[in-house]
Chain A
Amino acid sequence: MPQTLAPPAPAPARAPAPGAAPDPELRALAERHGLAVSGARPPLPEYTRRLWARRHFIAAFATARLTSMYTTARLGQLWQVMTPLLNAGVYYLIFGLLLHTSRGVPNFIPFLCTGIFVFTFTQSTVLAGTRAISGNLGLVRALHFPRACLPIAYTLIQLQQLLFSMGVLAAIVLLCGVPLTWHWLLMIPALLLQSVFNTGLAMVLARIGARSADTAQLMPFVLRTWMYASGVFYNISVFTQHAPHLVAVALNANPALIYIDLMRYALIDTVRAGTLPAHVWPMALGWALLSGAVGYVFFWKAEEEYGRG
């Protein structure tokens, strides 16, 4: 059916200046037929519902990214195990054999490896999150889906890599003579809380990274500073014992330190509950909820802006 053009409308009625108010006639027409403004940001509950509806896409996207990551390497998926193993090897060489820096920490190798692997999870999630939107502009500009799918998928990818690392870690810990106990089950809640915390962080940085490309350049330095403040290579109590009270409290409230300590507590029998920061479980839960909620809302607030010029 060819569109028959109506007789010329009165010219001055249209042709408003750019930025003029929406045409009331068109708006009425849109309302009469139940048309909605395209690309408007849905309210938070509706957004959450749509996000949930896309859960299979999130999983498929994460798996696809993971498989394509190593697909051209000859050793393929073996790298998922080799990478943490090599990492542990390097740190063992430097800290265990060359420097002898156990500084009175019993079971130093398990202590060190746990710290590194757990921190790497947060670190790589933050880095991947920063590029979650800016690295997928093609996808964002072509298809409709709640954009939160992307930072969540990237967190999932990193979580999957961490699970491989944890397998390696378990082997290292057992080889170092640490017994397998029921305590190991505590890894599960610790990991869960850290994942929620990381997802929130990834969403915050995804929004910031979508805005300014400079963030991606800056993040490695921020993360390295954070790593040294998180007691990855040494027991943080070396500092907190002599530091002013406020500094000690601040150091002990560091979420990365809390998640690392929880994991050490779960895995290594010589780490006693008494050496953990005060209120460690409530803190872990609090950080996860805070980061998850703030990150989600913060990300959603800019939903319609992602992919823009």
Chain B
Amino acid sequence: MADTDTRTGHLAPAPAAGPYPAGGGSGAPTVIADDVHIVYKVHGAGSGRGSAVSALSRLARRTAAAGTREVHAVRGVTFVARKGEAIGLIGSNGSGKSTLLRAVAGLLPPASGRVYTHGQPSLLGVNAALMNDLTGEKNVVLGGLAMGLSREEVRERYQDIVDFSGIDEKGDFISLPMRTYSSGMAARLRFSIGAARNHDVLLIDEALATGDRAFQRRSEERIRELREEAGTVFLVSHNNNSIRDTCDRVLWLEKGELLMDGPTEEVLAAYEDFR
């Protein structure tokens, strides 16, 4: 997409002016990122791998690093997020948004720099814990437990989760294996499970792009609720409208660097110009 020159200086007139406001901020800080760099090691990149001869010569020369490439996904991002904020993350594909979220969640340790958080931020990504061969019912329980709910909490919230997802509106689908669901239904169930818990810091990666119109409205509402109950919400999205509807502050990442940090309208305007 926007893989042209980033023209950093030209674009951001007041780039990330003091990402840690001295005092005056609204609430207590919930997430502090201090010069975060994230480097992925990718095995099997480049040539060499696969060919037995080159693998042997690598062993002989003791250069294990060959075939391994480093990807510098996030470069020196610094910001302070406060209680009550909903922060959108925007940027073109591959700009490091999801990677940054994982670092905030503590799932991907930064190569250098620090992320301080209040409590345990959770990624709204219960998908990975769910299994397609299991029924919706069992997945609700499994997903809830995977997120750290107790068995009693899962039992209490079970009906709410099913009702919110709207899976059963068209018949008894919850007792069918998830592989029989349409992609929209599966996404709705996933969101409902993930949003069933109150989080100190909630990280959402493109979750709103799924489901039909009615469900999108419901989930935006739920995010607002979560934000009031909890603290801080981070939202990664390519849909500027959903960012506009839910977020009051936006971080713009490009090629792993924080290009702009400010009120939603300002940053979105600059971003739309840029595209």
Contacts and interface: CB of A to CB of B under 8 A. Distances in A.
B262 A5 contact: yes
B143 to A, nearest CB: 9
Given A22-B113, A309-B42, A39 B14 contact: no
Is the contact region of chain A dominated by helix, strand, or loop, or is it mixed? loop
Contact of A57 (B43, B107, B145): B145
B18 A8 contact: yes
Interface stretch (B1-9, B130-138, B159-167, B233-241): B130-138
Nearest to A10: B18
Interface size class of B (residues with CB under 8 A): 35 or more
B112 A20 contact: yes
Contact of B151 (A56, A67, A141): A56
A39 B105 contact: yes
Interface size class of A (residues with CB under 8 A): 35 or more
Interface string A36-75: 1111100000000000011011001100110110011000
A25 B249 CA distance: 23
A180 interface: no
Contacts of A27: 34, 114, 116
Contacts, number: 197
Given A68-B131, A308-B108, A29 B264 contact: no
* 9 smallest beta-carbon distances between A and B, as pairs: A39-B106, A68-B133, A38-B106, A30-B116, A309-B40, A35-B116, A2-B263, A9-B18, A142-B125
Interface of A: 1-9, 14-16, 18-20, 22-23, 25-27, 29-30, 33-40, 53-54, 56-57, 60-61, 64-65, 67-68, 71-72, 136, 138-145, 213, 304-305, 307-309
16 contacts: A1-B248, A3-B262, A6-B24, A8-B14, A15-B76, A18-B35, A37-B116, A38-B105, A38-B115, A38-B121, A57-B148, A141-B107, A142-B125, A143-B128, A144-B122, A213-B43
